Amino acid sequence: MSLHRFGFKIRASYDGKLEDFIPVFHGWIQRKAVEGILVDVADYSHLPNSPGVVLVGHEADRSMDAMEGPLGLLYMRKQAGASFKDAWRATLDSAAKLEDELKGRLRFTLEDALFLANDRLAAPNDEAGARVVEPALRSLFPKAALARDTSDPRRRLTYRIRGAGGDVRSALASL
């Protein structure tokens, strides 16, 4: 089995509206500010518990998401070719860029991150899926506490990562 649809979410503290991310993401498309082919921006901010504002890409999407718990940056891979470490680096890089663009209004914390497998065939939410995912997560986050969400086997495989380390820039520099 090969898992290539997966992602990470890191929590955000933000004192603005989700709509504020629309021009930021459009600017990223224009400037090619992040890796990959960027396609469009989708605004779901009017819906409760929604994907928020999504920067749609060919290889991966980035969104200011409110679906999987509190507001945060969700980086979700859609194409093969990236390791968990590559995706974590892209998540941190996107978070650092967002903090720079919204200086003082946006802060990310790595103390309570999520890993989400978005492929129930390659990584079901059971022991077989855990055997696919957990060794790579333990390698990437050796000091963090990992906890798999076992509340409902029908949900996608999700790990809570507690204590992933410091701030976005120091974690990015340590990769």
Question: For residue 46, what are the contacts with CB-CB under 8 A and spacing of at least 6?
Answer: none
pLDDT at 141: 95
Distances (CA, A) of 120 to 2, 52, 161: 12, 23, 20
Please name every residue paired with 43 in a beta bridge, in sequence order, or none if there are none: 53
C-alpha distances in Å from residue 82, one per residue of 30, 85, 88, 119: 24, 8, 10, 15
pLDDT single digits (tens) 16-70:
999 999 999 999 999 999 999 999 999 998 888 888 999 999 999 999 998 867 8
Amino acid 10: pLDDT = 96
- From CA 84, how far away is CA 24, in angstroms rounded? 26
- Domain of residue 133, residue span: 6-173
109-161: pLDDT as tens digits: 999 999 999 998 889 999 999 998 999 999 999 999 999 999 999 999 999 99
- Name the strand (E) or helix (H) holding 116: strand 106-117
pLDDT (0 to 100) of residue 72:
95
Strands 6-14 and 60-65: unpaired
Number of domains the chain is built from: 1
SS3 30: helix
Does 159 fall in a domain? yes
Domain contains 1:
no
Residue 101 domain-assigned (yes or no): yes
